[in-house]
Amino acid sequence: MRPIPLMALALVAAPVALPAAAQDLPVLTVYTYDSFTAEWGPGPLVETAFEATCGCDLQFVAAGDGAELLSRLRLEGEQTEADIVLGLDTNLMAAAAETGLFTNHALGERDYDLPVVWDDPMFVPYDWGYFAFVYDKTRLPEPPASFEALAASDISIVIQDPRASTPGLGLLLWVKAAYPDRAAEIWEALADNILTVTPGWTEAYALFTEGEADMVLSYTTSPAYHLIAEGDDSKAAASFTEGHYLQVEVAARLASTDEPDLADRFLAFMVSEEFQKVIPETNWMYPAVTPPGGLPAGFDTLITPERALIYPAGEAALIRDEALAEWQTALSR
Amino acid sequence: MLVFERARIVQGDFTMAADFAVPEGARVAVIGPSGAGKSTLLAAVAGFIPLAEGRILWAGQDLAPLAPGARPLSILFQDQNLFPHLTVLQNVGLGLRPDLRLDRGQQAQVAAALERVGLAGLGARRPAQLSGGQQGRVALARALLRARPLLLLDEPFAALGPALKAEMLDLVAEIAAETGSTVLMVSHEPADARRFAPLSVLVAEGRAEPPLPTATLLDSPPPALAAYLGH
Amino acid sequence: MADRAVALSGRLGTAFGLAVAGLVLCLTLGTLAAVAWRAEAASGLGPADWAAVRFTLLQAALSATISLLLAVPVARAFARRRFRGRSVLIALLGAPFILPVIVAVLGLLAVFGRSGLLNDALRAVGLPEVSIYGLQGVLVAHVFFNLPLATRLILQGWAAIPAERFRLAASLGLGAAEVGRFLERPMLRAVLPGAWVAVFVVCLTSFAVALTLGGGPAATTVELAIYQAFRFDFDLSRAALLAAVQFALCLAAGGLAGWVARPAGFGAGLDRPADRWDARSGWLRAQDAGVIALVSLFLLLPLALVLLRGVPQLAALPGSVWAAAVRSVVVALTSTALCLALALPLAIAATGRGGRWIEAAGMLGLATSSLVLATGLFLLLRPFVRPGDLALPVTVLVNAVMALPFVLRALLPALRDLQAGYGRLAASLGLRGLARLRLLTLPRLRAPLGFGAGLAAALSMGDLGVIALFADQGTETLPLQLYRLMGAYRMDDAAGAAVLLLGLSLGLFWAFDRGGRGHAGL
């Protein structure tokens, strides 16, 4: 909640000297995606923890999903209020860097617990995950072990539109990375398995939960939610021999920030234990730096892909349009 | 005095001319064949149809700039004279104040008007709960309260039986006499005209003729009227 | 027209109406212009965009036509029958129209989906399954959403035939067929084109339903293409172009309807309740009962399944959901008040000179891409205020403008009848201005006003408040919170929130609609 008028009233009325009031504190504005700030997301915990030490007022502004965040920033340009943007991912990094709105961080070299080496000077990773097809063990005892096996089966899947959803774009790049020359062919073979294409993850996952499809495109970490929060161990992610596409979620500092030091402190806080330990059970992703206490019980049951597939940021942007055209042609038949 | 000064009404290919005067306090029937424009003549006086040429004057004042509600007249239509969602009291009260904010004195006036037309005690009803004759009386009561010097009747009692209609016409005549109103009444019935109106205006063949004594007109009708009367 | 001189609108009323039309123009075309102006480079529409336009037209035309074909017998059945619970049933049947898309889709899937009731039954008796994915699914969903709207619009047409005409028909010994020919068919001729356009345009701007049930990227609608242009390519120029195409299609549809429609000219009656002597035969009774039963099953079964799934979760809903519910109700009530305050002067001005244009301006909200509207508004307001501070006011305003076309549709025919039936009488009595509004317009329009208010409130309740650009902490509406729950794997909580939303939307609609019909003049 933002400061309410009542509080101001209380300040005026109070005869005794009060500690620095909320409005005197420096404000750090963090743009992030919607689910980060939800009551059950990482936002509230992160805010409390950071404000306890920063002597500042941390304000989250939620703006749709990662790609919508970037669009909003482009709308606002240098007049943006944001000091930090948290919630872009590897597939958006090139476009984000191109805007010239971001500046390098001051964290120096760090060791991250990522499946890939990370040395980007601008974007700081805070969590990561693999895209995967999630299924219900009770309904699908023998999941396919590759895209080709999936295509050959009559298993139904729900996927997301790459132009409207982050996992959708992830799948597009996944198939392209696994089959650089045969992606169109794979999509054609998959076409009859695709029950439908939804605009977002939410619709797709809901269709899957309601029993409409055998598998849904999501993350390898999705079963952890059902296991830990619901005590339901029936969900699992299918391990594909081609490897799984990696998504790394990142944050960066705006060049136009009027609180550069505070922004850097936030980025440092972001890769510290206080922040990282919150991630697994609120964002349901792997933390970029595994906390000393390790991952929560239940995460050990998740599959670990043998190969991490990922395009470097610049390449992903280049390959995107070609992969999209292949996808559209194959599925529009 | 109501004066039609070289007035012309044009509606599509229909035209009608009127150039005559009606003396103040007169009761005039407007007679003529169906479709000749009797109602149109009244609508022009009431301000629903603009004149193509000429003027209509009341007491020397041109009526053209006046909105229908501001003209010195009340009109009773063939039907839809009452608002079905308002009570009888409200319908009549509109005659005194269009915003219905009536003070005690005005409420008493409304009650008196209703009593005058024989509807005492029926004020709380809605029009659908009244007979046709009673609905006509409500409209008359309202005209009574509006107390405008000119009263236009566009066959409001056409749907009533002969006895009832005669009764209503007598009531109108009484009220007109009490208030000194000038009355223009469209009529299809020669008998009504004779009974009610000493003067008659013949509307036929694109003209409204100057008023003549009703008896004269009906006893030796010009050809257009004769055909209509079936002589 | 001779009656121009005594038209409903006074000079002040017309000025007010024009101001409202101006506001709507700013919000619709103005925001579109703002987006186009902000675009960095002009770009054209590609083949994929034109494919989206073609698919959008196809599905919208089919959806509208099927909805109307089904709505006519349903409306006729309700017009001919009086039974206990009729008004409650009519209100309930309106529910799909006001549901957030995702909730309604899940309800539909529980019936028509792969593991839904229908396919379970088909499997049990050894028949082949039916698939709801593909064009047929889009059509089923759009008919599900819009059948209630079409039925209500047509039912209003029936209600507008004065009871006296049915009485006259009965006195002449006219049977159901003749009543159909002399009374109902002219009424339908007057009402159907407008209803068709209303449904067509609603489907034209369809977003998630089409893709979710459409099966693949071929089922991309214009609205979705706008979203993609904004989100995926950040191509504001293409987004604006697509939005302009959407406007043009809606205007063309509206023009077509205006050209086809013929006023029925039934005149006014004395508010006697319509008794239907022509429809007393046993066969017609059975036919109407069958129609009502079928449509209730189609519209209510999915809702019942949503309820069944969600009611047990109600008690365990997180506090933030209740807070969002309160916020949504406040937003809905405010936006309803605003919507009526905009609709009434607009409708009154639309009965006067240049009325067609004023009416068209009011309808623009229907044709608006909510994303372009939000983006344009964001661009226009941002230099002056912090968007987050305006989250709720903007939601209220946008909801009001989005509901305006429906409220206008409800008010206009009644207002025109009022003018035709009582315009002269009111003018001859000098009934003008506020007195006229208070004594004539408001009481005579009570029913459509109540219906319109109910619709505005329910639409506002169900609106996702697409305005992510204005979102701020503590401004989430119930549908957004519901969507967030689903986005956080919390399907059970989401099911509970859906029931809460359904209950509140229907409750608001019913209360207003009921209030409007509370006293019908007798």
User: What secondary structure does DSSP assign to C154-187, as a single string?
Assistant: HHHHHHTS-HHHHHHHHHTT--HHHHIIIIIHHH
The share of chain C scoring above pLDDT 70, in percent, equals 90
Lowest mean pLDDT segment, chosen from A92-96, A312-316, C49-53, C420-424: C420-424
Range of weakest confidence among A3-12, A313-322, B177-186, C295-304? A3-12
Is there a contact between C405 and C343 (Cβ–Cβ < 8 Å)? no
At B166, the amino acid letter reads A
Residue-wise pLDDT tens digits, C478-489: 888 888 888 888
CB contact under 8 A, A34 and C320: no
Identify the domain containing residue C466 by its residue range. 2-269+318-517
* Secondary structure E strands in C199-241: none
Least confident of A56-60, C181-185, C371-375, C406-410: C181-185
Contacts of residue C110 in chain A, CB cutoff 8 Å?
Answer: 210
* Residue ranges with strand state E in chain B: 2-11, 14-22, 27-31, 53-58, 61-62, 73-76, 150-154, 182-186, 199-204, 207-208, 212-213
- CATH number of the domain that C498 lies in? 1.10.3720.10
| Whether pLDDT at A1 is above 60 | no
d(CA A155, CA A141): 12
Q: CB within 8 A of C484, min separation 6: which ones?
A: A34, A35, A38, C476
Neighbours of chain C (3+ CB pairs under 8 A): A, B
Joined tokens for residue A170: 């992830």
Q: For C104, which residue in chain A has the nearest alpha carbon?
A: A203
Q: Which element (helix H / strand E) includes B164?
A: helix B162-179
- Kindly determine whether residue B47 and residue C443, on different chains, have CB atoms separated by under 8 Å: no
Q: How confident is the model at residue C3 (pLDDT cuts 50, 70, 90)?
A: very low
Residue with tokens 């109103």: B181
Closest alpha carbon within chain B to C273: B128
Q: Is the pLDDT of residue C31 over 70?
A: yes
Q: Which two tokens stand for residue C222?
A: 């214009």
pLDDT band at A283 (very low <50, low <70, confident <90, very high): very high
Residue C435 lies in a domain: yes
How confident is residue C283, by pLDDT bands cut at 50, 70 and 90?
confident
Predicted local confidence at residue B49, as pLDDT:
87
Q: Looking at the partner chain, which of C115, C218, C318 has a beta carbon nearest the beta carbon of A332?
A: C218
pLDDT for C170: 67
Strand-pair partners of B17: B8, B207
Identify which has the larger pLDDT, C466 or C70: C70
Is the pLDDT at A257 greater than 70? The verdict is: yes
Nearest to C211 among A2, A74, A161 (CB): A161
The Cα C175–Cα C284 span in angstroms is 11
Q: In a mutagenesis test of the C interface, which of A57, A91, A207, A285 is the best target, namely the one with the most C β-carbons within 10 Å?
A: A207
The two structure tokens encoding residue C194: 């407008």
As a whole number of angstroms, the distance between CA B175 and CA C276 comes to 42
pLDDT mean across residues, chain C: 83
Residue A259 backbone phi and psi in degrees, to 5: -130, 60
CB A112 within 8 A of CB A125: yes
User: pLDDT at residue A18 above 60?
Assistant: no
Q: Which helix (H) or strand (E) holds C510?
A: helix C491-517
**Which pLDDT band holds residue C216 (cuts at 50, 70, 90)?**
confident
Structural tokens at position C496: 């509970």
DSSP A56: S
Per-residue model confidence (pLDDT) at position A17: 36
Answer whether residue C309 is part of any domain: no
Mean pLDDT, residues C133-146: 90
B touches A, CB cut-off 8 Å, minimum 3 pairs: no
CB contact under 8 A, A206 and C215: no
> What's the pLDDT score for residue A11?
34
DSSP code string of A179-247: -TTTHHHHHHHHGGGEEEEESSHHHHHHHHHTTS-SEEEEETTHHHHHHHHH----EEEEPPTT-EEEE
Q: Which residue of B has its CA nearest to C163?
A: B128
For the stretch B100-111, pLDDT in tens is 888 999 999 999
Q: Which residue of C has its CA nearest to A223?
A: C489
Nearest to A63 among C214, C468, C488 (CB): C468
Q: Is A249 exposed, middle or buried (0-12, 13-18, 19+ CB in 10 A)?
A: buried
| Contacting residues for B147 by C-beta, under 8 A, at least 6 apart | B179
C251: phi then psi, degrees, rounded to nearest 5: -65, -40
Instruction: Tokens for A310, please give them.
Output: 């990922």
- A320 contacts: CB under 8 Å, gap ≥ 6: A91, A169, A172, A173
Class at the top of the CATH hierarchy for domain A129-246+302-331: alpha beta
| Contact residues, chain A, for C208 at CB < 8 Å | 198-200, 203
Mean pLDDT of A16-23: 43
Q: pLDDT tier at A12 (50, 70, 90 boundaries)?
A: very low
At C261 the pLDDT is: 67
User: Could you say which of B48, B86, B142 has the minimum Cβ distance to residue C2?
Assistant: B48
CA distance A196 to chain C (A): 4
Chain B to chain C Cβ contacts (< 8 Å): 89
Kindly indicate whether the ipTM for this predicted assembly is greater than 0.90, answering yes or no: no
For B156-215, the pLDDT digits (tens) are: 888 888 888 888 888 899 888 888 899 999 988 888 899 899 999 999 989 999 999 999
Residue C522 has its nearest CB partner, among B68, B83, B126, at: B126
Q: What is the pLDDT of residue C487?
A: 85
Structure confidence at residue B132 (pLDDT): 86
pLDDT in tens, B102-149: 899 999 999 999 998 889 999 999 988 898 889 989 999 999 898 899
Ranges of each domain in chain B: 83-147
Q: Tell me: the pLDDT tens digits for A168-221?
A: 999 999 999 999 999 999 999 999 999 999 988 988 999 999 889 999 999 999
Round to whole Å and give the CA distance between C55 and C442. 42
Distance separating alpha carbons of residues A76 and B160, to the nearest angstrom: 76
Question: Domain map of chain A by residue range?
Answer: 14-128+247-287, 129-246+302-331
If one counts the domains in chain C, the total is 1
Of the pLDDT bands very low, low, confident and very high (cuts 50, 70, 90), residue C265 is: low
Q: Which CATH superfamily is domain A14-128+247-287 in?
A: Periplasmic binding protein-like II (3.40.190.10)
% pLDDT > 90, chain C: 17
Neighbours of chain B (3+ CB pairs under 8 A): C
What per-residue confidence (pLDDT) applies to C266?
60
Per-residue confidence at C474, pLDDT binned at 50, 70, 90? Answer: confident
Contact C117, C108 (CB under 8 A): no
Q: Measured between alpha carbons, how far is A323 from A175 in angstroms, rounded to an integer?
A: 9
C-alpha span between A35 and A202 (Å, rounded): 11
* Between C353 and B4, the higher pLDDT residue: B4
Classified as helix, coil or strand, C518 is coil
Of the candidates C442, C453, C447, C340, the one whose C-alpha atom is nearest the C-alpha of residue C8 is: C442
Q: Strand A215-219 to strand A157-160: parallel, antiparallel, or no bridges (unpaired)? A: parallel
Quick: pLDDT tens for B46-100: 988 889 999 999 999 999 988 888 889 998 988 778 888 789 998 899 888 877 8
Picking from C432, C435, C521, the nearest residue to B126 by CB comes out as C521
Please give the pLDDT value at position C228. Answer: 87
- Contact at CB, C424 and B83, closer than 8 angstroms: no
- The Cα–Cα gap between C428 and B71 comes to 8
Write out pLDDT tens, residues A121-155: 999 999 999 999 999 999 999 999 999 999 999 99
Is the separation of the CB atoms in C63 and C138 below 8 Å?
Answer: yes
The pLDDT, as a whole number, for residue C213 is 87
How long a stretch of residues is chain A?
333
The two beta strands, B14-22 and B207-208, are parallel
Would you say residue A50 has pLDDT above 90? yes
Say if residue B17's pLDDT is above 80.
Answer: yes
In a domain, C256, yes or no: yes
First to last CA, chain B: 33
- The whole-angstrom separation of Cα B158 and Cα B161 is 8
Q: Is it the case that chain A and chain C have 3 or more CB pairs lying under 8 Å apart?
A: yes
3-state secondary structure of A57: strand
In chain B, which residues have their Cβ closer than 8 Å to the Cβ of C270?
84, 127-128
What share of residues in chain B are helix, strand, coil (percent, to 5)? 40, 25, 40
**Mean pLDDT confidence for C413-438:** 81
Query: Which ranges of chain A does DSSP label H, i.e. alpha helix?
Result: 5-13, 34-37, 43-54, 66-76, 90-98, 147-152, 166-178, 183-190, 201-209, 222-230, 260-270, 273-276, 279-282, 313-331
Please state, in angstroms and rounded to a whole number, the distance separating the CA atoms of residues B81 and B83.
Answer: 7
At residue A13, the pLDDT reads 34
> What are the angstrom distances between the C-alpha of B32 and each of A61, A326, B191, C35, C125?
80, 83, 14, 67, 78
pLDDT at A4: 37
- Whether residue C275 lies inside any domain: the answer is no
- Separation CA A285–CA A278 (nearest Å): 10
Taking only the tens place, the pLDDT of each residue in A286-319 is 999 999 989 999 999 999 998 999 998 888 888 9
Query: Are B84 and C438 a contacting pair at CB < 8 A?
Result: no
Quick: pLDDT tens for B19-53: 999 999 999 999 988 888 999 999 999 988 889 99
Of B197, B203, B229, B225, which Cα lies nearest the Cα of B23?
B197
- Residue type at C323 in one-letter notation: A
C426 vs C5: CA distance, rounded Å: 12
Rounded CA Rg of chain B? 18
Angle between helices B132-146 and B104-116 (to 10 degrees): 130
Distance CA B41, CA A316 (A): 83
As a whole number of angstroms, the distance between CA B220 and CA B39 comes to 24
